[in-house]
Homo-oligomer: A and B are copies of this chain.
């Protein structure tokens, strides 16, 4: 169990329950995942987080699948187990193919590797890269 218990629909305060309902409506699913049930102890934080997720992850100049891939990449680098699972699942749900998953892993691995090398070498930034 986490640092707080997960709240069921019955246990969640009304403002949290309203967010659960919106999650269900927007995602077209009955499943409200554990992240939101843990966050429901602070309904204002739950609501602010969900409202922002809806905006940020919506289709825009980048498509939603690419956004999920980016989310996985950040979550891996930060070592967030829950987030790696939930956003890998979301990326699959939005059409990530096994080939794309393999390339995502390869890019993450490459970036991690050269991040380490560049940091170990303390490479000076090329003038041409600066805005």
Contacts and interface: CB of A to CB of B under 8 A. Distances in A.
State the main secondary structure of chain A at its contact with B. Answer: helix
Contacts of A86: 125-126, 129
A52 to B, nearest CB: 7
Contact of A119 (B45, B79, B104): B79
A49 B117 CA distance: 10
Q: How many copies does the complex hold?
A: 6
Contacts of A53: 110, 114
16 contacts: A2-B121, A3-B85, A34-B124, A49-B109, A56-B110, A57-B107, A60-B103, A70-B73, A71-B107, A71-B111, A74-B74, A74-B107, A78-B115, A79-B79, A105-B120, A105-B121
